Amino acid sequence: MDWKAELADRLKAAPSGERKAIVNSYAERTGMAPQSLYRIAREFGFDSGRKRRVDSGTLRSGLSDEQVLFVAGLKHVTKRENRGVIMDTETALDIARDNGIIDTGQITVGGLNRILRERQLSDRCLDASEPHTEMRSLHPNHVHAFDVSICIQYYLKSGKMGFMDERDYYRNKPQNFAKIKRRLYRYVLVDHFSGAYYLWYYEARGETQDNLFDFLLRAWSEKKSGKFPFMGVPFMILMDRGAANMSRAIIAFLERLGVEVPEGRPHNARRQGVVERMHGIVERKLESRLRIQPAASVEELNEWAEDFIINHQATKLHTRHKMTRTASWLLIKPEELRELPPLDIVRELYANPEETRTVDGAYAISYRGNEYDLRHVAGLYRGAKVEAVLKPYAWPVIDVRYRGETYEAKPLERLDARDGAFRAGAAVIGEEFKSPRETLTQKAAKKMENMAFGEERKKDSIPFEGLTVFGVHEDKVKADAYIPRKGMPIEVDRSVADRQIPIVDFIRQLADEMGEVPPELNAELRERFGSSISLEDATKVKAELSGEEDGQGRARLAI
């Protein structure tokens, strides 16, 4: 019989006065406290027979559920993301007392800790990871997981691998990290199904989208070593929502490759748990060796890293599927292995995935050295702007976007240079005629001409003959459309007419207008008007002189 059951039986049979001695004897044998032994005995059916208190139960202190949750809540909301709960129960209880949530003397710190344990609200429970369900992938290259971490222990210094003393860099001395201008970043990508992975180091000031593009290109390309078969583009990739990862260029690049990037909660490390664990493996099994044999450059470090991961994936069994990572990845089927397109296409997908093109008179566009017939695109016209979009797995077939719709376009074939390099299918001069397809504009123009001239258009016929287009416009204006306006008459300054000018100036004007002024006329004007003449008299004199001359052709005045 188990001693626990034996203890319970002896306590059941013993009078109440002898139970203490029995429990003490078992305490000496097991080293356990009497309270713990009584609890064990109750689990095996012992009942002391004592009448339970009226307020007995989970909270024998009299604390309400709200009071307990308040204390636990204080500890929960003040915990740190990495270290967990940092507020102790005594501090939380003091805050509750200071704010009148719990009365002074209502419960002790020890009693409150017991209640928190019973309610699964202790520090251990609050720090425990959230419950989760295991997710599975369907085949190799179905899902890849990606993450970046700093190679914290090592950095390049004067061409050598430097070791960072944790006592200097981890004890609240961020200024020491600032001294390192360029750190070593560890980029890791893991196949979720097989556990096969790729690793590469970059020396940089931070994570960049260009380094990420370069890494994905390396990870998904065919490797130089025949002992490292891992390659191909996944159908889905899991990665955190960092600035470099979520840049428009990277997201557009992945979309063009047909790689889905599902959204996830921020700071959810478990989502990329497979790559998080791989970081730990790399640190323990690879980077720990660098203290003994430091690399002189990041290039040398990457050579060693690739040498290590080839062996590690081919020889070590995975804890889940009990195969090597390489053997598990080789279960991939041909339809599951999507190879990267040619390098120039991939770079275009990243740098310039789509371009605007202008439709020519033959309803075609040129793109990357090919011509594409777009006569099947609805509503197209000469000079229209369309977007040519690369299709990496179907090149040279492309997509064409126009007015919100997407059309597939195939390149036009051309004859061999010996046949003139004309478009295949073009009509031969003198042998055949192929009229181009009518555009929507051309079709509409025919309908409009039939409407204007009728089915048969005659010479000098008038369009829309019989329509009235003139003589009706004034009738469209309402009679009371305008209110008559009254103006102000202009007042003329009468003194202007009596204005005098010197007689000398007047004679000079006559000379300019009529030629030489005879001495007789000069004397006559001076005698008649004196030293000055009014404007009105000057006008009259000019009129007389222009119309009357004497018999000898000399001007004279009718005085």
Q: What is the CATH number of the domain that holds 263?
A: 3.30.420.10
Check whether residue 388 and residue 414 sit in a common domain.
yes
Lowest mean pLDDT among 47-56, 142-151, 461-470: 47-56
Q: How far apart are CA 250 and CA 210, in angstroms?
A: 9
Q: What percent of the chain has pLDDT over 70?
A: 78
User: Within a domain: residue 419?
Assistant: yes
Q: How far apart are CA 13 and CA 7, in angstroms?
A: 10
Structural tokens at position 442? 């051309």
Q: What number of CA atoms fall less than 13 Å from residue 411's CA on the CB side?
A: 15
Check whether residue 147 and residue 247 sit in a common domain.
yes
Check whether residue 199 and residue 303 sit in a common domain.
yes
Q: How far apart are CA 28 and CA 42, in angstroms?
A: 19
Check whether residue 255 and residue 159 sit in a common domain.
yes
pLDDT tens digit string along 461-520?
888 877 888 888 888 888 776 777 777 766 655 555 567 889 888 888 888 887 788 888
Strands 143-150 and 236-238: parallel
Lowest mean pLDDT among 269-273, 294-298, 454-458: 269-273
In this structure, the dihedral spanned by the alpha carbons of residues 287, 289, 294 and 296, taken in order and rounded to 10 degrees, is -60
Check whether residue 258 and residue 294 sit in a common domain.
yes
Answer for the pair 285, 308: CB distance below 8 angstroms, yes or no.
yes
The pTM (predicted TM-score) of the whole model is 0.53
Own/partner pairs, 270-273, CB within 8 angstroms, 24+ separation: 270/129, 270/130, 270/132, 271/238, 272/145, 272/146, 272/147, 272/238, 272/239, 272/240
Check whether residue 194 and residue 105 sit in a common domain.
no
Strands 354-358 and 236-238: unpaired
- Structurally, the chain folds into a number of domains equal to 5
User: Within a domain: residue 347?
Assistant: no
Domain residues for the domain of 412 are: 356-451
**Strand pairing partners for 515?**
none
Tell me, what DSSP letter sits at residue 461? Answer: P
Q: What is the pLDDT of residue 222?
A: 93
Answer for the pair 125, 85: CB distance below 8 angstroms, yes or no.
no
Question: How large is the average pLDDT for residues 340-360?
Answer: 82
Burial class (CB in 10 A: 0-12, 13-18, 19+), 248: exposed
Q: How far apart are CA 186 and CA 370, in angstroms?
A: 41
pLDDT tens digit string along 14-37?
888 888 899 898 888 888 888 888
Q: Is 529 helix (H, G, I), strand (E, B) or coil?
A: helix
Check whether residue 103 and residue 203 sit in a common domain.
no
Residue of 231, 217, 225, 189 lying closest to 329 (CA atoms): 231
